[in-house]
Amino acid sequence: MTTPLEISSVFAPGHETVLRVEDAATGLTGFIAVHSTALGPAAGGLRMRPYASTDAAIEDVLRLSRGMTYKNAAAGLPLGGGKAVIMGDPAEIKSPELLRAFARAINTLDGKYWTAEDMGMTPADMTILAEETRFVAGLPDGKFASGDPSPITARGIFQSIRTTARHRFGSADLTGRTVAVQGLGHVGAHLCRMLHEAGAKLIVADLDTARVAQAVAEFGAQPADATGILREKADILAPCAIGGILNESTIDGLQVAAICGGANNQLATDEDGKLLHARGILYAPDFVVNAGGIINVATEILEIGARDAFVDEKLAALDTTLDRILTRAAQRGCSPNDVATEIVDEILAPKAA
Ligand code: NAD
């Protein structure tokens, strides 16, 4: 017998649909936010974490789903922006029944929202969701399964670092440039390898000291502590761990000429983009730079047969978009983050009209 679900609407101006999903039998409380379907079905991952309150979970899902609209549009994908969150510690309450209940809630949106892996979720969890819904990507196997997105994410960041370097230093050549990488997880580790092979010198930090030790051994990287890395002298900072690290208390201490990395929501607020600009630090907007992952996931949602060609084409287009953003920002003397937001608004405006 299937569990009865309670699904209700959450009032969220600016979003198309936000659902609250509850299932007493499995302890499920979650939210699905569809920010925009102007460009296509909303796509964005499912995150599970122990939020401090319902308000905190709603705030996260609204912010993340809006971010996906911007990321997907900037990447030239025929996808809108959406995201889902489940409240609770995955280690404590995640169960196949809970996931199946959530999948049934996804079905009520009739394909307006596609989910995938995010924090607290694994490919195996996606397989469980797929037992109930077809609107799921990031599956470990299947005809269009797209696998681990992080190598593609790292490729996108690497090419963006080169483009950022060209704008900031006049050359994309990274030989001898120092790059400080915060976070050596899925994305950071791949990125470090590419940077090392391109001749860059690395300064690295992670809360996991084993990952730092590995980067020191493999790439001759200089270790730094997890927060201290934001004060290291380097040409480029590549944040690849958590969001919100560029804020009014950290920006003053930065000793880099440019920032380009994979972490989502690096700026605590849009104002911090302006602060970076005022300090003369060139910031490559994260939602443009880190779209390789969703490009990879898109091959699964859109059932792209010629996967590698699609990824190559979209990554090349991403590079052109970043170049346009940095060029326009330089011409206007403003923050690239503001220009990137403006460019996406231009893409969305005719569709939303
Ligand atoms: P991950 O969990 O594999 O790695 C994150 C790493 O950061 C871990 O090694 C962790 O120990 C470290 N870390 C956490 N907090 C830290 C801190 N305060 N200081 C230093 N290190 C810290 O995650 P990932 O998949 O590599 O993703 C990294 C970032 O990139 C995240 O913000 C993620 O949202 C974003 N992102 C990832 C992808 C992808 O394809 N995986 C795509 C787009 C964006």
Residue 353 predicted with pLDDT over 80: no
| Dist. CA 13 → ligand 1 center (Å) | 30
Average pLDDT over residues 191-217: 98
Residues within 6 Å of ligand 1 by CB:
149-150, 153, 182-188, 205-208, 211, 226, 240-243, 262-264, 290, 293
Token representation of residue 175:
């030989």
Hey, what are 257's tokens? 């000429």
Question: What local confidence, expressed as pLDDT, does residue 19 receive?
Answer: 98
Pick the CATH number of 6-64+81-129 from 3.30.420.40, 3.40.50.720, 3.40.50.10860, 3.20.20.70: 3.40.50.10860
Q: Are 188 and 181 in contact (CB under 8 A)?
A: yes
pLDDT at 59: 94
Would you state the pLDDT for residue 245? 96
Active site residue 83: yes
98 CB-near residues (< 8 Å, 6+ apart): 23, 26, 27, 28, 86
Find how far residue 330's CA is from the centre of its chain.
25
308 Cβ contact list (under 8 Å, min separation 6): none
**Identity of the amino acid at 138:** G
Architecture, CATH, for domain 150-352:
3-Layer(aba) Sandwich (3.40)
Residue type, 282: L
Smallest CA separation from ligand 1 atom 2, residue: 185
Whether 350 has a pLDDT exceeding 80, the answer reads no
What pLDDT score does 336 carry?
A: 98
Q: Are 193 and 187 in contact (CB under 8 A)?
A: no
Please list the alpha-helical segments (H only) found in 19-149: 54-74, 90-93, 96-107, 123-130
> Would you say residue 210 has pLDDT above 90?
yes
Sign of the torsion angle spanned by Cα atoms 4, 85, 340, 199: negative
Q: Are 32 and 22 in contact (CB under 8 A)?
A: no
pLDDT tens digits, residue range 272-322?
A: 999 999 999 999 999 999 999 999 999 999 999 999 999 999 999 999 999
Nearest to 83 by CA among 54, 125, 128, 117: 117
In degrees, rounded to 5, the angle at the alpha carbon of residue 321 between the alpha carbons of residues 316 and 326 is 125
Selected catalytic residue, list 83, 94, 112, 314: 83
Task: Determine the distance separating the centroid of ligand 1 and the alpha carbon of 206, expressed in angstroms.
Answer: 9
Q: Which helix (H) or strand (E) holds 300?
A: helix 292-301
Q: How far apart are CA 69 and CA 297, in angstroms?
A: 15
Q: Please state, in angstroms and rounded to a whole number, the distance separating the CA atoms of residues 165 and 259.
A: 10
Q: How many CB atoms neighbour CB 346 within 10 A?
A: 10
What is the structure's pLDDT at 349?
A: 84
User: What pLDDT does 351 receive?
Assistant: 66
Residue 183 alpha carbon to ligand 1 centre in Å: 6
Mutate to test the pocket of ligand 1, among 187, 266, 299 (most ligand atoms within 8 A of CB): 187
State both tokens at 148: 């681990």
Residues of the chain with CATH 3.40.50.10860: 6-64+81-129
Which regions of the chain carry the CATH code 3.40.50.720? 150-352
Nearest alpha-carbon partner for 5 in 19, 16, 49, 112: 19
Query: How many Å lie between the centroid of ligand 1 and the Cα of residue 332?
Result: 33
Provide mean pLDDT across the span 228-252. 96
